Structure 1
Amino acid sequence: MATSEQESVPTAKVEQDRLSRLLMILLATAVGAAVANRFYIEPLLSLVTHSFKVSPTAAGLLVTSANVGYVLGLILLVPLGDLLERRRLLTGMFLGAGVVALGCAAAPGLPLLALALAGLAMLSVCAQILIPLAATLAAPEERGHVVGFVTSGLLVGTLGARAVSGFAAGVAGFRLIFVVAAVAMVVLALLLHRTLPALPSAQQTSYRALLGSVLTLVAREPELRRRMALAFLQFAGFTVLWAPMAFLLSGSPYHYEPTVIGLFGLFGVAGALAAPWAGKLGDRGRSGLTVTVSLLVMLAAWGLIALGGSSLIALIAGIVLLDAGFQGAHINHQRTVFALQPAARSRVNTAYMFAFFLGGVAGSTLAAIVYNAGGWSGICVLGAALATLALAIWALWRPRRPEGGAESTERA
């Protein structure tokens, strides 16, 4: 009898660990599927132009519409993760995203498609509620690893969406991907509702006060401001690479078709593999070192990317290194800011991701200007300059924080 009881203990522990890993996989999948909704339209603009008989400029406004919707979602919806019961909130947002995705598939014209895309992007910020939720569910000693694993879904979704969308469009036009997205959202809503524990919020405040407290957090937390600045520069550099990539690959010496160009996003997905390892190093007290190495890797990657103007191998190696460095630093930024105010993780993530997203907007704008003036060489100089500036901020800006600050909070 004693032997039987002793054998049941490790069996129960293995099953518990297995379920924990399955939940991590579900959360990462949900994050990737949600964030992908915002990027499906980008490789489909030429098809939309033909289907609705509109100008390329008018079709390009669909990307703007999705971006505006995402910003509104970051500001208005993500803070609700600190106010409402999160399982119910996430279930509702995923179901809503499924309904709106069907609206995208059925849109009879450009104005309704733009409105539906804005709504889909707005609801897709549920990914930014899932990531701080993962940090809450994780034990302190494994928080970096868990956040890294779940956040890897965000990079996979961001880069993989274009390839998946282009493939689906080749099969059945631009509407099919939104039907697939609708099904994915509904299935994930059901799985999350069944799997996530009920997590009632301890916050007792009004919605207006909740939104205002985001600015208060930014004002009170110098380390949050520092990481927001780094997030801005890093995502700007990330976007500087990807925004003009199609122009490089469609021209000399590559002359690739759009379908092949879309597949290059999959090389970037390899960088997502760095996220869990970077998180583990943070858990072991090496977060600062990991950020330093990651920023140096991003800077070095631009040398290879510059050679990628004529060398495919150098280009691919540079893409993998840039994305790995980007992920390594990003995960440790999130790990640190989530520890600043554990009861306000969704609002902290609102501030951090707002700066992150603004960096993407700035990067795409700068890339368009610089590529037109200086070509691929100009893009590489710009990317290296952004990486150098991030390194300088990391080395020189050292906010003072009491001993009970971020790192000690994480260990508590």
Structure 2
Amino acid sequence: MTNNVIEIEGNNPKGKILTKRLVLLMSITCGLAVANLYYNQPLLADMGRTFHASSHQVGNISMFTQIGYAIGMFLFVPLGDMRERRQLITILLAAVTISLVGVATAQTLLWIYVASLAVGITTVVPQVIIPLAAQMAGPEERGKVIGSVMSGLLFGILLARTVAGFIGGSLGWQMMYWVAAVLMLALAIILRKFLPRSYPEANLTYGQVLKSLGEFIVTQPTLREVSLVGGLLFGSFSVFWTSLAFYLEGAPFHFGSEVTGLFGLVGVIGAAAAPFVGRLADRFSPKSMVGIFIIITLISYFFFGFLGSAVWGIVTGVILLDLGVQGAQVSNQTRIYSLVPEARSRLNTVFMVTYFLGGSLGSSLGSYAWNLWQWQGVCLTGGMLIVLGFLVWGIHQLKYKS
């Protein structure tokens, strides 16, 4: 083992403490990896022209990617509680490299559906890294560390659209996926050298791990509430982003993929707040903060629905949408990581599988609503998902006041 690699067992790093450089490395990795899920959103209109497909047909590309992500989290993320994480992360990065090449070389709509599903299944590295960061951090700084790593993930989610818009608009959407494949291969090499070895906190078989997922759902009401709220909020997030490219290419905007991608850059303001949200979660009740962020998310859809014919209205809505959804996610993850410390990867699996199933539902609903009712239908659909999320949160608060 090289000198720059440390070993972690349980909650006790062996050799040295969690450093800022290591947190930064994990943040960058999360951002670059999760971006694979979102490159397609500003490029959907271009993809539709390539495959001569309708907006609903190409909207399914986002849906399959997010369904794949949910499948990958169910299959692979629980392994973080029973296997050495560095090796698992390296293998997954190699696999997603191959999947991205599959998208870049797609010749038919069915081909890109299958390749997008594979990209989703193998792009689960962030959900292995986040529990690792929580394991390494002390209880007094766990929210701060999670917020810092999450900020990298959120930057990746948002900047992916901007980068994809520019590269896709200039060099074709296929080139974006070639670039992504090279980045994943480079990450696999870098993390193999610098990421610490991490040993599991529980001695379980894979069957026991999967069985325990159902047990946690039954016995942990907070996990159920957090997961449902997260899925509904991320569904509203996907409703908007899946439909935006179609809305902006028509009247009164007539924007191409390059300009559409810039709206992701606007959302960086919300992502930049993630470390601050994490610090607040360490000091105040993250449960109450979730309710505040749900309301912020709902307000964003008022801007989209009533002021969405102006660029400034969409910009304001994007800032509020990203702040609300990402703030709720950081607060919710801080809540679940304190429930069963030795099962953080499994708790994260339940949360994130539900989260991205909600996202895949939102992608499908967004393209469907656009086909039937255009922009106002999109805004009504997204807003209804947020209202449902608020009801789930509110009922839980009334039933479990502790």
Normalised TM-score (structure 1): 0.84
- SS of corresponding position for 2:32: helix
Q: Is 1:253 equivalent to 2:255 in the alignment?
A: no
* Aligned positions of 1:130-149 closer than 5 A: 130-149=129-148
Amino acid across the alignment from 1:304: F
Q: Is the 8 A contact 2:304 2:317 kept in 1?
A: yes
The separation in 2 between residues aligned to 1:400 and 1:160, in whole angstroms, is 39
Aligned residues with identical type, % of pairs: 37
- 1:32-76 CA deviation, whole Å, 9 max, x = no partner? 111111233444456556667888877665445433432321111
Q: Is 1:215 equivalent to 2:210 in the alignment?
A: no
Q: Is 1:22 equivalent to 2:21 in the alignment?
A: yes
Q: Is the 8 A contact 2:69 2:124 kept in 1?
A: yes
Distance change (3 Å), C-alpha of 1:310 and 1:231? same
Measure how far apart 1:248 and its partner are: 2.8
Question: After the TM superposition, which of the residue ranges 44-53 and 245-254 deviates more from structure 2?
Answer: 44-53
Aligned to 2:298: 299
Aligned to 1:9: none
Distance change (3 Å), C-alpha of 1:178 and 1:387? closer
Distance change (3 Å), C-alpha of 1:244 and 1:200? same
- SS of corresponding position for 1:310: coil
Amino acid across the alignment from 1:183: V
* Aligned positions of 1:5-404 closer than 5 A: 20-45=19-44, 62-106=61-105, 113-398=112-397
Question: After the TM superposition, which of the residue ranges 34-43 and 224-233 deviates more from structure 2?
Answer: 34-43
Measure how far apart 1:286 and its partner are: 3.1
Instruction: Output the aligned Cα RMSD.
Output: 2.9
The separation in 1 between residues aligned to 2:56 and 2:324, in whole angstroms, is 34
The separation in 1 between residues aligned to 2:251 and 2:107, in whole angstroms, is 38
Q: How many matched pairs? A: 388
- 1:70-117 CA deviation, whole Å, 9 max, x = no partner? 232111111111110011111221133224434444556665554443
Greater Cα radius of gyration, structure 1 or 2 = 1
- SS of corresponding position for 2:173: coil
Q: Is the 8 A contact 2:230 2:351 kept in 1?
A: yes
Amino acid across the alignment from 2:178: V
Between 1 and 2, higher relative CO (CA 8 Å, sep ≥ 6) is seen in 2
Measure how far apart 1:287 and its partner are: 1.7
- 1:302-326 CA deviation, whole Å, 9 max, x = no partner? 2222233222222211210121121
- SS of corresponding position for 2:309: coil
Aligned to 1:410: none
Amino acid across the alignment from 1:239: S
Q: Is the 8 A contact 2:237 2:325 kept in 1?
A: yes
The separation in 2 between residues aligned to 1:198 and 1:20, in whole angstroms, is 15
Q: Is the 8 A contact 2:97 2:185 kept in 1?
A: yes
Measure how far apart 1:357 and its partner are: 1.1
Q: Is the 8 A contact 2:166 2:257 kept in 1?
A: no
The separation in 2 between residues aligned to 1:363 and 1:148, in whole angstroms, is 25
Q: Is the 8 A contact 2:36 2:119 kept in 1?
A: yes
Question: After the TM superposition, which of the residue ranges 108-117 and 194-203 deviates more from structure 2?
Answer: 108-117
- SS of corresponding position for 1:398: helix
Distance change (3 Å), C-alpha of 1:108 and 1:261? closer
The separation in 2 between residues aligned to 1:66 and 1:384, in whole angstroms, is 23
Amino acid across the alignment from 1:185: M
Q: Is the 8 A contact 2:34 2:123 kept in 1?
A: yes
The separation in 1 between residues aligned to 2:136 and 2:297, in whole angstroms, is 31
Distance change (3 Å), C-alpha of 1:309 and 1:175? closer
Measure how far apart 1:124 and its partner are: 0.7
Measure how far apart 1:364 and its partner are: 2.7
Amino acid across the alignment from 2:75: L
Aligned to 1:409: none
The separation in 2 between residues aligned to 1:399 and 1:372, in whole angstroms, is 39
The separation in 1 between residues aligned to 2:105 and 2:393, in whole angstroms, is 47
Question: Which 5+ residue runs of structure 2 have no aligned equivalent?
Answer: 1-14
Question: Which 5+ residue runs of structure 1 have no aligned equivalent?
Answer: 1-15, 404-412
Distance change (3 Å), C-alpha of 1:102 and 1:301? closer
Measure how far apart 1:282 and its partner are: 0.7
Question: After the TM superposition, which of the residue ranges 105-114 and 384-393 deviates more from structure 2?
Answer: 105-114
- 1:269-301 CA deviation, whole Å, 9 max, x = no partner? 221012111110011133233223222222222
Amino acid across the alignment from 1:323: D
Q: Is the 8 A contact 1:248 1:309 kept in 2?
A: no
- SS of corresponding position for 2:94: helix
The separation in 2 between residues aligned to 1:401 and 1:191, in whole angstroms, is 45
Amino acid across the alignment from 1:229: L
The separation in 1 between residues aligned to 2:62 and 2:308, in whole angstroms, is 27
Distance change (3 Å), C-alpha of 1:377 and 1:279? same
Q: Is the 8 A contact 2:55 2:367 kept in 1?
A: no
- SS of corresponding position for 2:123: helix
Aligned to 1:11: none
The separation in 2 between residues aligned to 1:56 and 1:238, in whole angstroms, is 18
Amino acid across the alignment from 1:95: A
Q: Is the 8 A contact 1:163 1:265 kept in 2?
A: yes
